[in-house]
Amino acid sequence: MSKGKYYITTAIAYTSKKPHIGNSYEIVLTDAIARFKRLQGYDVFFCTGTDEHGQKIEEQAKAEGITPKQHVDKIAGEIKDICDNLNTTYDHFIRTTDDYHENAVQKIFKKLYEQGDIYKSSYEGHYCVPCESFFTESQLKDGKCPDCGSEVKLAKEEAYFLKLSKYQKQLEEHIENNPDFIYPESRKKEMLNNFIKPGLQDLCVSRTSFKWGIPVTFDDKHVIYVWIDALSNYITALGYDPDGSTEKYNKYWPADVHIVGKDIIRFHTIYWPIMLMALGEPLPKQVYGHPWLLFGTDKMSKSKGNVIYADELTARFGVDAVRYYLLSEMPHATDGSISYETIIERYNSDLANTLGNLVNRTVAMINKYFGGTLTNNTTCDEIDTSFKEDILSALPVMEKAFDDFRIADAVEAVIGSAKRSNKYIDETAPWALAKDEANKDRLSTVLYNLVEAIRIIAVELTPFMPDTAKAILTQINCTADTYDSILSFGHAPLCNKVGEATPLFNRIDAAVMLSEIEKEIKEKAVAAQNAAEIAGVAKIGIEDFAKVDLRVAEIVNCEPVKKAKKLLKLTVFDGNSNRTVASGIAKWYKPDELIGKKIILVSNLKPAVLCGIESQGMILAADCSEDDVKVIFVDGIPAGAKVR
Ligand code: MSP
């Protein structure tokens, strides 16, 4: 029987660029909670999606030479792929460019205008394009945007405003009377003391400076401010309509929890509740502001080559290992950090050693001592009773941890059960029992207890590692996977033949993998620098290029230069005569490797003397990485041929 409805949402992601692993953390976190609630018997509706309007997107699309819709279609597709790749079980993926959403947002805006909660005025201030926000002089930090540090420009706009001030008292009371509304506690204090109590100013909720937004129906110069558009997703996704909502809306709203990052708690606990109050709709029960995931101590950036994307991580470690890492490593209130070292460490210790070994050893022993089928579980020693109690004690710990959004504690409780089970193996020493036929019943019981503990662990792992949970249940040949089946011990059937003992996680050689990764990061940094250089290089006309005379030439001799270790002295045949070229490639090539090869020569370069050698040209080579240069060899072209 259902325990009732549970509506949970993530923030909707901006479709400006492909999200990195930090952005993807939220969907995994929310998915784990949704899965756990379903396991507990709730009728869960889990919503995620994309936030697709705004000036930034309009400008980005323009720079790419495509329409905003083409741009957001591409990125929304990538975001959805990431959610699917991470095996998340969202029930609805909303895009703010969906028709039903746009229509509902227009109606919401009109309703608020008609009832006087939105009014027309004008706005003058410093405008930050990336944040799409106006700031007053005093809010600026060193003359720049206080949120993102970008340059701001002075702008004046005719605009519509939402009367936040009218609802200030009501909001304050709601927060005071509902202590769990803003979570964790520290965020609540921050909102009340820093934002609400000092006084709310009415919010500018329309823009005329760009077009890529939902138009105001009764004043088409204006598009609706992105936050009004974006926040409404939580109700439009369910079919909210000011003229009459769907059954789904009536069933699931209000949200049980909005899961959002710490940076946008303000929007969710001030603007959003006030919008809902003005609409006469109930407020969400809770907003959980989670901390951020950072990369080591370093910020992730493309130019450093260290941006980590979810799909790259899952390709390397597997989906469940990535989910496990994110959920077990992230603290509940302070920022967490991701590093390849800690991913590998956790993978080896928790997944390969603790969990993998437990399943592997148990299944292998059942196959070895009983041909795969246990015969009975009739004995019960004190050691067994305490073992069973310990295994059953994990679930209440998990439940409390989920209620408090301390997901890492819930993970720890399950891994604790796996550790406890490994200890039980050491305590009962099945290999010693197996030596004497008289211990057969005892041995069968011990292994049965282990299978049952493994089954309970597998079911408890479902929210974190759904595929691994399935693989474990398949290996021990159990189908009992309900919440009720893990409340007490003994639901694994006897006499089910277990499968082959196949390792769930193979140990990773940390040194090998880390050096591979380091090489890749370097290559990516070079690629990013090259891309930036290409984008920034000044354009030349064809007449400039025509001044450079490029010829295929053959290297007929090559020798080191005693006085200059970096140089090689080449003799090249340019189709007409031999000439000398000094080239700084000694680090990458030995003279013998070059003799007989054809290269591209800049033949009309003014001669220059390098370490006593008169160089009469230059050969072309490519910078492959910071420390890797490759000469461009050409085959099958006669010396002297012009390259153009
Ligand atoms: N579009 C807005 C949200 C509108 S909700 C009505 C937005 N989008 S976002 O793409 O920038 O962020 C999406 C979510 O990811 C936010 O909750 C944000 O806090 C979160 N994160 C962004 N970077 C993050 C990390 N490095 N770590 C964890 N979460 C991060 O804000």
Q: Is 260 in the pocket of ligand 1 (CB under 6 A)?
A: yes
Q: What is the pLDDT of residue 17?
A: 87
User: In angstroms, what is the span from residue 548 Cα to ligand 1's centroid?
Assistant: 50
Q: What is the pLDDT of residue 494?
A: 85
Q: Find residue 206's DSSP bridge partners.
A: 224
Residue 302 clears pLDDT 70, i.e. is over it: no
pLDDT tens for residues 333-383? 888 888 999 999 999 999 999 999 999 999 999 999 999 999 888 888 899
Q: Which of 580, 572, 579 is nearest to 597 (CA)?
A: 572
Q: Is 329 in the pocket of ligand 1 (CB under 6 A)?
A: no
Residue 626 clears pLDDT 80, i.e. is over it: no
- Range name among 49-63, 162-176, 240-254, 523-537 with the lowest pLDDT average: 523-537
Q: Is 287 in the pocket of ligand 1 (CB under 6 A)?
A: no
Atom of ligand 1 nearest to the CA of 260: 17
pLDDT tens for residues 512-561? 999 999 998 888 888 888 887 887 777 788 888 999 999 999 999 999 99
User: In angstroms, what is the span from residue 303 Cα to ligand 1's centroid?
Assistant: 21
Residue 495 clears pLDDT 70, i.e. is over it: yes
pLDDT tens for residues 555-595? 999 999 988 899 999 999 999 999 999 999 999 999 999 99
Q: Is 33 in the pocket of ligand 1 (CB under 6 A)?
A: no
Higher pLDDT, 107 or 140: 107
Q: What is the pLDDT of residue 43?
A: 98
Over residues 54-80, the mean pLDDT reads 94
- Closest C-alpha residue for ligand 1 atom 26: 22
Find the angle CA(577)-CA(583)-CA(588) to the nearest 5 degrees. 125
Q: Is 264 in the pocket of ligand 1 (CB under 6 A)?
A: yes
619: confidence class by pLDDT, cuts 50, 70, 90: very high
Over residues 493-500, the mean pLDDT reads 88
**Structure token pair of residue 423:** 């200890």
Q: Is 293 in the pocket of ligand 1 (CB under 6 A)?
A: yes
C-beta atoms surrounding 618 within 10 Å: 16
Q: Find residue 141's DSSP bridge partners.
A: 144
Pocket test for ligand 1, best of 29, 51, 288, 306 (most atoms within 8 A of CB): 51
Question: What element of type H or E holds 77?
Answer: helix 68-85
96: confidence class by pLDDT, cuts 50, 70, 90: very high
CA 7, CA 180: separation in Å to the nearest integer?
Answer: 16
Q: Which residues contact 587 (CB under 8 A, 6 or more apart)?
A: 566, 629
Alpha-carbon distance values, 344 to 317, 324, 350, 415, 576 (Å) = 9, 12, 10, 17, 59
Question: Where do we find the tokens 């959980």?
Answer: 288
Q: How many percent of the chain have pLDDT more than 90?
A: 77
Q: What is the pLDDT of residue 625?
A: 73
Over residues 39-66, the mean pLDDT reads 95
Q: Is 261 in the pocket of ligand 1 (CB under 6 A)?
A: yes
What's the chain's average pLDDT?
A: 93
Half-sphere exposure of 57 (CA within 13 A, CB side): 27
Question: What element of type H or E holds 55?
Answer: helix 55-64
Alpha-carbon distance values, 37 to 6, 25, 34, 256, 285 (Å) = 8, 19, 5, 11, 16
Over residues 42-66, the mean pLDDT reads 95
Over residues 605-634, the mean pLDDT reads 90
- Range name among 284-298, 338-352, 498-512, 602-616 with the lowest pLDDT average: 284-298
Q: Is 11 in the pocket of ligand 1 (CB under 6 A)?
A: yes
Atom of ligand 1 nearest to the CA of 234: 6
- Closest C-alpha residue for ligand 1 atom 13: 13
CA 329, CA 338: separation in Å to the nearest integer?
Answer: 8
pLDDT tens for residues 314-326? 999 999 999 999 9
Q: What is the pLDDT of residue 298?
A: 65
Over residues 89-115, the mean pLDDT reads 98
pLDDT tens for residues 214-264? 999 999 999 999 899 999 999 999 999 999 999 999 999 999 999 999 999
CA 289, CA 178: separation in Å to the nearest integer?
Answer: 16
CA 578, CA 585: separation in Å to the nearest integer?
Answer: 20
pTM of the model: 0.85
C-beta atoms surrounding 197 within 10 Å: 11
Q: What is the pLDDT of residue 301?
A: 67
Q: Is 384 in the pocket of ligand 1 (CB under 6 A)?
A: no
Atom of ligand 1 nearest to the CA of 14: 10
Residue 410 clears pLDDT 90, i.e. is over it: yes
Q: Which of 387, 376, 454 is nearest to 420 (CA)?
A: 387
Q: What is the pLDDT of residue 297?
A: 64
Over residues 98-122, the mean pLDDT reads 97
Q: Are 347 and 505 in contact (CB under 8 A)?
A: yes
Q: Is 23 in the pocket of ligand 1 (CB under 6 A)?
A: yes
Q: What is the pLDDT of residue 528?
A: 82
Question: What element of type H or E holds 390?
Answer: helix 382-392
User: In angstroms, what is the span from residue 247 Cα to ligand 1's centroid?
Assistant: 30
CA 116, CA 577: separation in Å to the nearest integer?
Answer: 88
User: In angstroms, what is the span from residue 116 Cα to ligand 1's centroid?
Assistant: 32
Residue 467 clears pLDDT 80, i.e. is over it: yes
The amino acid occupying position 112 is L
Q: Which residues contact 305 (CB under 8 A, 6 or more apart)?
A: 520, 521, 522, 523, 524, 525, 526, 527, 528
3-state secondary structure of 417: helix
User: In angstroms, what is the span from residue 253 Cα to ligand 1's centroid?
Assistant: 23
User: In angstroms, what is the span from residue 23 Cα to ligand 1's centroid?
Assistant: 6
Buried b (16+ CB within 10 A) or exposed e, 556-593: eebeebeebeebbbbbbbbbeeebebbbbbbeebeeee
Q: What is the pLDDT of residue 524?
A: 84
Over residues 487-493, the mean pLDDT reads 92
Q: How many percent of the chain have pLDDT more than 70?
A: 99
Tell me whether the omega of the peptide bond preceding residue 396 falls within 30 degrees of 0, making it cis: no
CA 161, CA 228: separation in Å to the nearest integer?
Answer: 11
Q: Are 108 and 225 in contact (CB under 8 A)?
A: no
- Closest C-alpha residue for ligand 1 atom 6: 231
